[in-house]
Amino acid sequence: MTDGEPGEGHPDTRDVAGMADVASDRFDEAQLSETRSDETGFDEARLDQALSFLARRLSGDFTVDPFGFDEDLTESVLLPALRMLYRHWFRVEVRGMENVPSDGGALIVANHAGTFPLDSLMLQVAVHDEHPAARHLRTLAATLVFQLPVVSDVARKNGSTLACNEDVAELLSRDELVGVWPEGFKGIGKPFAERYQLQRFGRGGFVSAAIRSGAPIVPCSIVGAEETYPMVGNLGFLARLLRLPYAPITPTFPWLGPLGLVPLPSKWMIEFGEPLATDQYEVGAAEDPMVVFELTDNVRDVIQQTLHGLLEKRGSAFPQFSRSE
């Protein structure tokens, strides 16, 4: 049962709206390039959209789902903002998008890096913008995220929820595409010297969840996040004082103050591997540690191998600077 899901009562209208969204995205892009070429700088359709968005926001006329996901806000504000970073700052290249299913629940498992979870945000843009079904990636985040004001608010509205078994199961049963970073803080908070070396994959909770729901696991390798905020030092005492998992020192932070918060413009590549089916397992396999560990190691190996391949293909992390030399 998917009670409480927005638009549940009108599946038809919802589908139509979804298609219209995709269509309008395409339309937008076409129009954008047109306006650029004719240099009038005025675009009635965009203004129209902005006005109706504003009216919807001011009257509270939008829906949030049980996880707090605000599709209207994500599509109109959050994704466009992230898209700038995605296209122009990190110049993300995507491979293997055909491995991401167009419908039904699936679990995308990726490596985690870079001090600040830019990789989860970029993966969200990749899946939405480059997949033909323009799917929303529902990312799983640590409890810490939901303890912080503002961050917790934005995270929920952007489609994140707590990384716990109940939420994964619920999302998968609603046929959502779920993004998980099983390395957690061990991955994102590792020193720069250990870049692209996968950490332990938690306790395999994501594998149990996938087996229970019968959802496929799509391994995903992300290259580029490691160089955004290279962590060269960690102020352990400060982290303990602030109850944070780490207090990073990067080549620019805290030395340059707020400017140090600007991520380095590394070149990114994201590759999706072939999906691993989980529906062939028997009932109860999710509680069998051997099955879970085996599948976990399998996924981890695929990601690690692909990372090595991608690193070779990419070459320098900052090709824009090496070319000018």
Task: List residues binding other proteins (CB under 8 A).
Answer: 1, 3-4, 6, 8-9, 42, 44, 47-48, 51-52, 54-55, 57-68, 70, 143, 146-153, 156-157, 161-162, 164, 166-167, 170
Q: Is the peptide bond before 254 cis (omega within 30 degrees of 0)?
A: yes
Least separation, in Å, of the C-beta of 213 and other proteins?
15
Min CB(147)–other proteins separation in Å: 4
Phi-psi region of 28 (alpha: psi -120 to 50; beta: other; left: phi over 0): alpha
* Nearest distance in Å: CB 63, other proteins: 7
Residue 147 or 197 with smaller CB distance to other proteins: 147
Please tell me whether residue 190 adopts helix, strand or coil conformation.
coil
The alpha-carbon radius of gyration of the chain (Å, integer) is 20
Residues contacting residue 111 through CB under 8 Å, at least 6 positions apart: 119, 181, 183, 187, 196, 198, 220, 221, 222, 303, 307
Q: 219 has which bridge partners?
A: 109
Q: At its nearest, how many Å lie between other proteins and the CB of residue 215?
A: 17
Task: Give whichever of 51 and 241 is closer to other proteins, judged by the CB atom.
Answer: 51
Closest approach of other proteins to the CB of residue 143, in Å: 5
Rounded to whole angstroms, the Cα distance separating 262 from 253 reads 9
Task: Choose between 47 and 232: whose C-beta lies nearer to other proteins.
Answer: 47
Indicate the residue among 41 and 312 with the shorter CB distance to other proteins. 41
Measured from the CB of residue 36, what is the shortest distance to other proteins in angstroms? 19
Q: How far is CA 265 from CA 24, 153, 216, 259, in A?
A: 30, 27, 33, 13
Q: Which is nearer to other proteins, 124 or 228 (CB)?
A: 124
3-class secondary structure, 221: strand
Q: Which is nearer to other proteins, 8 or 29 (CB)?
A: 8
Q: What are the residues whose beta carbons fall under 8 Å from the beta carbon of 78, sequence distance 6 or more?
A: 154, 157, 158
